[in-house]
Chain A
Amino acid sequence: MNEQQSTLTTGPNESYLENKQAIAIDIQDLVVKYGSKRAVDGLTFTVPIGSIFGFLGPNGSGKTTTIKTLLGFRPPNAGGARVFGYDVASQSLQVRGRVGYVSETNSLYDFLTIPQLCAFCRSVSQEWDQQVVDRYIGLFGLPPKEKVGNLSKGMKSQLALSLALGSNPDLLILDEPTAGLDPMARHEFLNTLVSEVASRGKTIFFSSHILSEVEAVADWVAIIRSGKLVLCDELNHLKQAKKVVKLTYVDIPPATEIETLRCLPEVMNLAQEGRSVRLLTHGNVDILEQSLKTRPYTLRDVETVDLNLEDLFLESMKEVDHGH
């Protein structure tokens, strides 16, 4: 453990709580290595209390490693993280006391029946509400006395979520919770997350690489790549910050026009295909539209389009590739 970590090992003292009351997860300069390889490389971001936080990244980007570190499965090599003010390295037990966790593999004890698994969870939880579990088991339509090994993958995911909620956690950490589920099961799972869990004020931190599902439920997103943070913001704010402007010229615009457009301060990226030009912009689109009116070449159409999360993700990846 290095110096940076040791500064994070005190408990959730009052001054910390005063400053960080609205923060569920606080990750600071986190580095986690597998041998010499940095799986997480200087990650810093915070997760606000009450948010549904989508943690995105390509396969192998460090999402699961970050989650494992938050839950104390792996120690940080440098930096640190706090969950509700508790240091994840030295106060892991307190962290896990407030967290419900559903792992990527959804591996449960197949040899137990659902009531036996509930009894097991009750025996290892600080707080347990069987009524909550029974309610979710009923909501998902799971056979209440069935052996876990006989359940389908989707049912196991639903059971894992039900059990995670049984300890009445303030924070749910879900690692690729819908991986391997069919669209119906995925829809049902996400619906429950939003309508039942998030509406009760719980914080949900979930990793995924299925962008459409994150966009459907998340209000905050963080994107990581190669263990490094690419962006972290409110989803609405991100969508407002970047827009696509599609220009359709009457005639094919000359290279000088394209270069002029590329140099406009609002334009981040440009792609031309015949008479159509696609501008990725940040800043005020109105200003851009004003400056377009002064261009000498006639435009047939100007259309402003909101970016979806997939576009944002791809653009962020491109920016990283180009070294921005």
Chain B
Amino acid sequence: MAIKELIEARWKAIICGLIALVLVEVSTATYGLFKSALNTSNMQQLPQFLQQQMQQMTGSYDLYVWGNWFAKNGPEIMVIMAIVLGAGLIAGEVNKGTIFFLLGKPISRERVLLIKYAISALILLAISAISCIALLVTAAIAGHPQNIGGVVISTFLLWLGVLFGLGLALLFSVFFKDALWPLICALVITLLTVIPSFIPDWGAWNLISYWSNQAVYMGQGFPAKEFAICLVAAVVPLILALALFRKRAF
């Protein structure tokens, strides 16, 4: 069954992998370009606070890469990929009518769901790993070798974080009959989790803020709290999806 899931998801995985690769390159290889832009007369015309922000970002290569990939582009693109992969897992089978072929076999619903989830999670892990390698190689070529441990742990944390999106999409995929609604619902709920970051003193409730950690990227400590939060956030929608799928009538 795993092979079937891999074959089914192969084009999505390839496209997502390529997009991630391009974004990693954009996030890492543009440092020089950005830094030189800061010195031009055009940049001087920008408001003071923007100039300050950009100067902070380009203060060091490591900070620039972390800010661009792990704090911004990485979570955004990876969670969209997770939702795209998860939205069709069950709803796609229902929509095409293959759910009856699948569930007519002597295989438990729990196994069906977990295999589908595991394959999607592995695809996301593979995309994360490719991005991680691309980041390390590009940085090394640019003459800014990165802390390998920090990059690997940050990549793993990001992957664990976006499993929340995958679980959410899977949960809605069990509920709806086509892949569009799970996609929309999962995206909306993921966006809603960012709202606390706009409320003073509520920043700790912003789930996505736990998907990356600057200190860890710089090789300072292990993000146990972030890992625990991401793990719980990933497991809860999966458990709900399992419970719903077990009861779902077709």
Contact = CB atoms under 8 A, between A and B. Distances in A.
A73 B107 CA distance: 12
Given A107-B96, A111-B7, A116-B7, A123 B1 contact: yes
Nearest to B249: A74
B105 to A, nearest CB: 4
B249 to A, nearest CB: 4
Interface string A119-161: 1110111100000000000000000000000000000000010
Interface in B1-59: 1-4, 7-8
Q: Max chain B CB contacts within 10 Å: which of A73, A75, A97, A124?
A: A124
B18 to A, nearest CB: 20
A237 to B, nearest CB: 32
Contact of A72 (B4, B96, B97, B103): B103
A73 B101 CA distance: 11
Nearest to A175: B100
A35 to B, nearest CB: 11
Contacts of B249: 73-75
B100 A120 contact: no
B3 A125 contact: no
Interface in A157-182: 160, 167
Nearest to B5: A120
Nearest to A119: B3
Interface string B92-115: 000011101111111110000000
Contacts of A120: 1, 3-4
B250 interface: yes
A125 B98 contact: no
Contacts of A235: none
B105 A121 contact: yes
A112 interface: yes
Nearest to A94: B106
A20 interface: no
Contacts of A97: 106
Contacts of A297: none
Contacts of B102: 124
Contacts of A105: 97, 100
Contacts of B105: 96, 121, 124-125, 167
A172 to B, nearest CB: 11
B8 A71 contact: no
Nearest to A73: B250
Given A105-B97, A116-B3, A96 B104 contact: yes
A16 interface: no
Contacts of A73: 100, 103, 249-250
A107 B250 contact: no
B1 A101 contact: no
A109 B3 contact: no
Nearest to A123: B1
B104 A101 contact: yes
A104 B98 CA distance: 11
Nearest to B108: A93
Interface string A89-122: 0000110110101011101110110001001110
Contact of A126 (B8, B98, B106): B106
Given A73-B250, A112-B4, A119-B3, A107 B106 contact: no
A68 interface: yes
A109 B250 contact: no
B8 A111 contact: yes
A107 B7 contact: no
A74 B103 CA distance: 11
Contact of B106 (A93, A103, A104, A111): A93
Nearest to B95: A107
A153 to B, nearest CB: 13
A118 B107 CA distance: 15
B92 to A, nearest CB: 11
A19 B62 CA distance: 76
Contacts of B103: 71-73
Given A116-B7, A120-B4, A123-B1, A107 B104 contact: no
Interface of B: 1-4, 7-8, 96-98, 100-108, 249-250
30 contacts: A71-B104, A72-B103, A73-B103, A73-B249, A74-B249, A75-B249, A93-B107, A96-B107, A97-B106, A99-B104, A103-B97, A103-B101, A105-B100, A107-B96, A108-B98, A108-B101, A109-B98, A109-B101, A111-B7, A111-B8, A112-B4, A116-B3, A120-B1, A123-B1, A124-B102, A124-B105, A124-B106, A124-B107, A125-B106, A167-B106
Top-5 shortest CB links A-B? A107-B97, A101-B104, A97-B106, A105-B97, A103-B100
Given A71-B104, A103-B100, A124-B1, 20 more contacts: A68-B100, A72-B103, A73-B103, A73-B249, A74-B250, A96-B106, A99-B104, A101-B100, A103-B97, A107-B96, A108-B98, A108-B101, A109-B8, A109-B101, A112-B4, A112-B7, A116-B4, A119-B3, A125-B106, A160-B101
